[in-house]
Amino acid sequence: MAKKKNIIGLTFKCEDCGQVFIIGKKGVDAAYERVHKHMLENGHMGISPVNPPKGLTYKSLGGGVKAVYDGKDVDAFISKVKSLCIQHGTHMVPQLKLA
């Protein structure tokens, strides 16, 4: 069985204030903690990927709804994720581990 790898270099940006969060050598969990803290302290909920790799998947909290980035239009992908959130009344979270 192959080891799972982190997506290093994937960058997220807060739409409200412009703060940038990068997945670095400390891994996905460390980046998630920074984003989560920012969201709680500032109430900023719109944090989107800037440079998503092809195949980046967002899933609903229940797992029934998903959106997969095709590697083309980032803005269209983000709009699709936001639309699915509203349409299904759920939060969408990125799946940040590669198999």
Instruction: Report the sign of the C-alpha dihedral through residues 59, 10, 15, 38, in that order.
Output: positive
**Model confidence pLDDT, tens digit, residues 29-50:** 898 899 999 999 999 988 999 9
Domain boundaries, the chain: 5-98
Contact between residue 81 and residue 88 where contact means Cβ atoms under 8 Å apart: no
Q: Would the pLDDT of 55 be above 70?
A: yes
Query: Could you tell me which of 37, 92, 91, 35 has the C-alpha nearest to residue 68?
Result: 92
Tokens 């959106």 belong to residue = 67
Which residues have CB under 8 Å from 70's CB, separation 6+? 54, 77
Task: Confirm if 68 and 95 have CB atoms less than 8 A apart.
Answer: no
Predicted pLDDT at 8:
79
